[in-house]
Amino acid sequence: MDKYIEERVALWLNDDYDADTKAKIREYQQNNPDELTEAFYRDLEFGTGGLRGIMGVGTNRMNKYTVGAATQGLANYLKLQFPNQEISVAIAFDSRNNSAYFADITADVLSANGITCHLFPELRPTPVLSFAVRYLHCQSGVMVTASHNPKEYNGYKVYWNDGGQLVPPHDKNVIAEVNKIKSLHDTKWQRNPDKVHIIDSSLDEAYLKLVHGLSLHPEAIAAQKQLKIIYTPLHGTGITMVPKALKMYGFENISIVKEQAVSDGNFPTVKSPNPEEKSALVMAIAQAETEKADLVLATDPDADRVGIAVRNSKGEMILLNGNMTGSLLVHYLLSQWKALNKINGKQFVVKTIVTTELIKRMADAYQVPCFDVLTGFKYIAEKIKEHEGQMTFIGGGEESYGYLAGDFVRDKDAVIACCLIAEMTAFYANQGKSLYQMLLEIYHEYGFYKEDLLSLTKQGKSGAEEIAAMMVNYRNNPPKEIGGQKVVLMNDIQASIAYHLDKGTQEPIALPKSNVLQFFTADGSKITVRPSGTEPKIKFYFGVVGELPDVVQYDEANAALQAKIKGIIEEMKL
């Protein structure tokens, strides 16, 4: 074993770590030295979104000590930012193994540092934590979750006083404070019970009341209250809020996938609790077929993302991807805000730069500004904060199944999304239309936008070097044509410059620097190249656009656009 790793292991065996931890380390020494190497070869990184990693002993794992160190770093930063103030932090957790335990550790360390903790007594969705930060006037919040990762993982997301996840400069500054915690003894562990307050049900009631307040057409729900909805929380936190919220909206025919309503961090009925994956919705769709349901809703373990299934023109249940659902939702919000005379030039929508351009096309048609932000919902929250008091956020989202309406939550919210998706299903059903038919009508009116994603994994040091070389090559030698169309614009987010290649001009880009390149062609195609910040991957997002002259030509037009994407992938030799 590497001498550096041996020294780190020896420190944990000889310092005041608990007996179970030391026993596990000795077990690895005897039976699994490779696992011991993995557990200690580095520190688990506290990134811009917090911690996320495999649970277990060691410096590179999610455990009491890494969570404690992260919390001590956060406490130190909060004291620097809010000197001589009473500081409070809201803490929530999801259904994962050890989530409640890590939430308690967080409360221990924060309270030991004299910080007041508002702790949820049981699991709650991430968006409810975001709401709690604002509702309780906290300076920060902590959500213990690893979102849709496999069962071996857990995580720790940090929120600032606006209810959004950390953005610059706070993200980097908190990281710097966490990195200063070098020893077990740098962390204060002894809970001050006087500083830990358990959140009562009044917060849930306040949140649900505001969710209900987003309803635009209660009369449509009243007429379609028997709309058959299948809901699965995928063993996660959605079970605590989504059924209540749907019933509050007026839906009376909600059927829950019972096997997946059990909160279980082992996620026993799915390979991965990710609503983006078809396999996660198999049980829900089977139940929908048996019960002849109209809509399937599936939320991930911390209920910030939702996947849906609807019936197509043949009556078959099909999955919609994140761009499709987001487009339907934004169209519904824009069209009904307009119909209700709620648009007066002071509203806006937000999407991420890798999300479908259809959302911007629709916003332009309604003369509502659409802001593009970097990938990550924290940047949508930042945009809401930026315009607070001057403009009203209608809604928005990202292609990875995260959506939001209203501004009382500052993260993607599957509870809100489930309610509004169900409402718009009822609204269109009242007009004799399905969501699928409405999607095709949107394509007919605004253009048929189709997207795809390709991830290339490049392992090890050589893989990282290959990804870096690819980005350098695209920057220095941008393609002149893509898919038979001239490239007219290259956005280099790292350089903060938009190059108008057709005009030979350039202009600044008002986005935080990020290693992302985007190419736009004359016919509206968009290709985004983005290395992952957490995995040895480089991602290519493809967006093409065509026409749908008649909804009955959908299959033919869809096949043509899919072929176009395939041709671009082949042309780029991916």
Which positions are catalytic? 147
By three-state DSSP, how is residue 219 classified?
helix
β-strand partners of 526: 520, 543
The contacts of residue 121 (CB under 8 Å, 6+ apart) are 198, 199
Cα angle for residues 131, 137, 142 (degrees, 5° grid): 55
Cα angle for residues 350, 74, 98 (degrees, 5° grid): 85
Structure token digits, residue 215 = 């309803």
What single string gives the DSSP state of each residue in 339-369? HTT--SS-EEEEEETTS-THHHHHHHHTT--
Instruction: Give the 3-state secondary structure percentages of the chain, helix then strand then coil, rounded to 5.
Output: 40, 20, 35
Structure token digits, residue 322 = 């994140």
Residue pair 290/282 in contact by the 8 Å Cβ criterion: no
Residue by residue, what is the 3-state secondary structure of 174-218? HHHHHHCCCCHHHCCCCCCHHHEEECCHHHHHHHHHHHHCCCCCH
H/E stretch holding 296 reads strand 295-299
In angstroms, how far apart are the furthest CA atoms of the chain?
73
Q: How far is CA 104 from CA 110, 177, 418, in A?
A: 10, 21, 30
The residue whose two tokens read 């004299």 is 114
> How deeply is 83 buried, as exposed, middle or buried, from its count of CB atoms within 10 A (0-12, 13-18, 19+)?
exposed
Residue by residue, what is the 3-state secondary structure of 361-417? HHHHHCCCCEEEECCCHHHHHHHHHHCCCCCEEEEEEECCCEEEECCCCCCCCHHHH
Distance CA 357, CA 354 (A): 9
Q: Tell me how far apart the terminal alpha carbons of the chain are, to the nearest angstrom.
A: 38
Structure token digits, residue 286 = 């089977």
Residue pair 107/117 in contact by the 8 Å Cβ criterion: yes
β-strand partners of 52: 155
> How deeply is 191 buried, as exposed, middle or buried, from its count of CB atoms within 10 A (0-12, 13-18, 19+)?
middle
Number of other CB atoms surrounding residue 259 within 10 Å: 13
Distance CA 204, CA 296 (A): 24
CA neighbor of 167 nearest in space, from 50, 79, 75, 82: 50
Distance CA 25, CA 334 (A): 57
